[in-house]
Structure 1
């Protein structure tokens, strides 16, 4: 009788634990449910592991994802077929170069894309996104450079940004080595990688040595740590694919590796009332509300280590002033409805459009964060990737 009770309790627990509610409108219910359960479980394990002193939470997340990726890869065909893949360094920064294996006999220069992967600057390594990088390279049919930038919390801002900028400059100096036209090179990235792509694009407008970037392409990007109470945070902050708590932790691991101010950020108390009335508040307003300009030199911040960095465009590209955003190259922004980062991308696209920058903004009402991680299994991810590659073919 006791064994029956234990079995019944186990079944009830599993039924409860595996009950992952699917947001209205999500068409890939099975994929969303599986991904939500995985990330929820990963969060529990990572936090427990840190409390037990096994390892830091971001390290456990990273190791677990890498383990799962390696196991899953054994059951799939070689996703690199048709590509020449080379691991090397650009000025000391690790990169992975994807080129078509069959080189056509032509004098025409190829296009190039420098891509920065996501993962909250902390949770994903290059091998974890190798399949996505290879997919883009094969569909695009040209050269893709994936940047294996240093990760938080071991390396905090600006390490990831610096690596991406250094690698991009190196590639632009050596495009001849890959038969790439330096005037047809773009940057791109997903999630935290979208943050890095936008930050690099802004930085490159100040460089006179290089040709202008052809495009910047941002896939559900993280662009601001100013306001964690936007509509998208309120709508989707409870979803396990990317909950508010995890996104704030990512920002803090990247900023200063100190979660002691976590609740201050979550309550939006890391910005003062003066800041909430400043132009920076207008930058994170979907209606582009006009506000009172203030000088960074006159702003007072709470006693949080390096908190003033939230206004640095290298850290949070949405905080760039209009004079800098006007110089942006043609821009592609992809957003998904069920994502705390939805409004980051929407606000960035609207600001650029208002400033006269050519923008294409694709929004997927049935999409959710991380849907691009497996475009072969997730329909909305496949649709979004096809549209993204189509944009690159036409504009790069």
Structure 2
């Protein structure tokens, strides 16, 4: 009997090993780790594990056992480092249907503290309160702030614009009860990474003019996507195969969250969904002409947009919604935004989105502080406390954010 039980177990182990070898072989031939990056072998190894989880998730999804995002989130949360910090009181709450996690310093304070509202990354498919727990703990402890982490709902159960709505509703709920949490109304910061950073831009715009609520003191955007229209910017072309956010992963995340069939990803990538009249209107904000020359490769400027395909536009016209493209907001809204701290990475597919939004804000007189990490890559911040798996750019990012928040 024992021998019979070992047969399927060995078969499973052989299958898992075979999938892993296939993933490693594929990544060695497709992923590009620039020679200027620090610890390239470590980055390749971590990326292979990440891709392995995605591949297994895709297999389970095809077998109708569970969805790929659910599996990857489950695996990510299993390896998340959740340590009990004796200096913090951590409370899990629900603001309506939105799960949130509150981090409060235990030490007494003679005055209300600064408040930080944090939106995690993950493209609307990945990421969770647990996977960003250590980061939020660190921010609360090092800045002596009350931190609210928002666990917005995600794909496959929810699509656009649920991330925006959940974050906006949770933020409004928090802003109405600042006194309850010991937060000073004039020192509330909204911070986010990746899709969370994109949502920071959307929410701060949505709060403009709401005189019944405390005004946001500052916004912190770490590697945001502020538009999904021009995907031929220099950073998209230069870093399309750089871990962790490759072109393949990016397009999959975008299409799944936006409920757009993957068959349209080439049209999106080439700009075939961009009507000529829309390009004429928006190119002053999203054209690669706005990117400083030092970030461009000479002679490699792609032709954008590609030949217009009306059917592609009809399938993707919701990409022009300002809740997906905060850079397209009217000047009247942009000019009223709070000061911003922007973090970009040299080896990030979304680097140029940060540069475009920086210019957009500055053109309307919004104070902007910009911190660029040349050897950084997308998503590195979640590894900042993973010891052997951490990178210099991971801690560099967190240090810059902490320094900025402490100056508020």
Shift of 1:55: 3.0
- 1:243-262 maps to which residues of 2 (within 5 A)? 243-256=246-259, 258-262=261-265
- Aligned residue in 2 for 1:281: 283
SS of equivalent residue, structure 2 residue 380: coil
Judge conservation of contact 1:301–1:307 (CA < 8 Å) in 2.
no
- Aligned residue in 2 for 1:310: 319
Bigger shift: 168-177 or 259-268?
259-268
Corresponding residue to 1:347 among 317, 339, 356: 356
Cα distance between partner residues in 1 of 2:251 and 2:23: 29
- Aligned residue in 2 for 1:48: 59
Corresponding residue to 1:242 among 242, 245, 248: 245
* Residues 14 and 36 (structure 1), Cα distance of their counterparts in 2 relative to 1, 3 Å cut: closer
Judge conservation of contact 1:236–1:338 (CA < 8 Å) in 2.
yes
Shift of 1:137: 1.3
Judge conservation of contact 2:274–2:313 (CA < 8 Å) in 1.
no
State the 4+ residue runs in structure 1 displaced beyond 6 angstroms.
10-15
Corresponding residue to 1:214 among 203, 209, 217: 217
The question of 1:165 aligning with 2:176 is answered no
Cα distance between partner residues in 2 of 1:14 and 1:122: 21
Unmatched runs of 5 consecutive residues or more in structure 1: 1-9, 290-298
Cα distance between partner residues in 2 of 1:64 and 1:237: 25
Unmatched runs of 5 consecutive residues or more in structure 2: 1-17, 292-307
Cα distance between partner residues in 1 of 2:379 and 2:334: 27
* Residues 16 and 80 (structure 1), Cα distance of their counterparts in 2 relative to 1, 3 Å cut: same
Shift of 1:306: 6.0
Corresponding residue to 1:320 among 321, 329, 333: 329
* Residues 13 and 122 (structure 1), Cα distance of their counterparts in 2 relative to 1, 3 Å cut: closer
SS of equivalent residue, structure 2 residue 196: helix
- Aligned residue in 2 for 1:365: 374
- Aligned residue in 2 for 1:139: 142
Corresponding residue to 2:118 among 97, 100, 115: 115
- 1:20-169 maps to which residues of 2 (within 5 A)? 21-69=32-80, 73=81, 78=83, 80-104=85-109, 106=110, 108-169=111-172
Corresponding residue to 1:182 among 181, 185, 202: 185
* Residues 257 and 67 (structure 1), Cα distance of their counterparts in 2 relative to 1, 3 Å cut: farther
Shift of 1:157: 1.5
* Residues 304 and 384 (structure 1), Cα distance of their counterparts in 2 relative to 1, 3 Å cut: same
Shift of 1:54: 3.3
Deviations 1:171-216 (A, max 9, x none): 1110001111111111110000001111000001032211221001
SS of equivalent residue, structure 1 residue 263: helix
* Residues 160 and 286 (structure 1), Cα distance of their counterparts in 2 relative to 1, 3 Å cut: same
Cα distance between partner residues in 2 of 1:42 and 1:256: 22
Bigger shift: 42-51 or 239-248?
42-51
Cα distance between partner residues in 1 of 2:57 and 2:257: 18
* Residues 12 and 56 (structure 1), Cα distance of their counterparts in 2 relative to 1, 3 Å cut: closer
- Aligned residue in 1 for 2:302: none
- Aligned residue in 1 for 2:305: none
Cα distance between partner residues in 2 of 1:227 and 1:253: 18
* Residues 39 and 103 (structure 1), Cα distance of their counterparts in 2 relative to 1, 3 Å cut: same
Shift of 1:300: 10
Shift of 1:283: 1.6
SS of equivalent residue, structure 2 residue 91: strand
Bigger shift: 305-314 or 243-252?
305-314
